[in-house]
Amino acid sequence: MSSWKKAAKSVQKTHRERHQPESRQHLGLLEKKKDYKLRANDYHEKQSTLKLLRKRVLNKNPDEFHFHMINSKIKNGVHREKNKSDRHTPEQMKLMETQDLKYIAYKRHLESVKINKMQSQLHMLDAVNETKNKHIFFVDDGDEIRNFDLAKRLDTHPDLIDRKINRPRLSKLQEMRLPDIDDKMLAKLEQQKHMAYVELRKRVDRERELMIVQQKLEARRALRRKGMEKPEVVRQGSKEGAPIYKWKFQRSR
């Protein structure tokens, strides 16, 4: 019996925290110690940060000046460089910070290949909605002008008159085996063609961005070469182009 009592004493008793009393249920869950520790640690961390910032402000020299004070600005509580936002787009800055020159050249090559492939398929024939070309017909008298039938003169179907390309004649239309296309299918084809041109335009813009980033990276690499004098700045870099530098000519030995 005594051994049983000793064994019972050695067993660790499970600690259970009481729940929220029924009379206080409207106040929500009862805060436990682990919840209090998290809240207390967060409070003390914020207080120590405020204390450190207050100390830095008191020890700051009011006459101190640095060029970064005029070359940066605060936007949404964050310091941002003025010249970086003016000379590079966010996409260009991200690429220049994360990728190297070989990768940029490789991605630009892939984009150019895809652009050439899409241009060969679309032919860029419907990219321009308006054309300056004119087709002039000569008639003999006024009666022929009043009775002039453009579809008959062009020997094509009236629905194909507005087309600028691929306007077959009636003889060719009779020989062709055309599928049954309703208005829904025609609208779907027009939408697919429109999306193809939208994708082509985006790829062209992407290839141009990669070209600008590649030129900027090449300029940075040239500036980091050892033994080279500081070049003259011909044109500052911008969103539309890389900077241009002019080095003094040195005769190689």
> Based on the structure, what is the number of domains in the chain?
1
Helix (H, G, I), strand (E, B) or coil at 73: strand
Mean pLDDT of 111-129: 72
Angle value at C-alpha 58, between 56 and 62, nearest 5 degrees = 100
**pLDDT tens, position by position, 69-79:** 777 788 887 77
Neighbouring-strand partners of residue 36: none
**Structural domain that includes position 194:** 84-131+181-245
With a pLDDT cut of 70, the percent of the chain lying above it is 79
* Average pLDDT over all residues of the chain: 78
Is residue 39 assigned to a domain? no
Asked whether residue 164 is assigned to any structural domain, the reply reads: no
Q: Is residue 142 part of a domain?
A: no
Please check whether residue 148 lies inside any domain of the structure.
no
Report if residue 188 sits inside a domain: yes
**Residue 224 forms part of a structural domain:** yes
More confident site: 249 or 111: 111
Q: Which residue has the tokens 């690499």?
A: 221
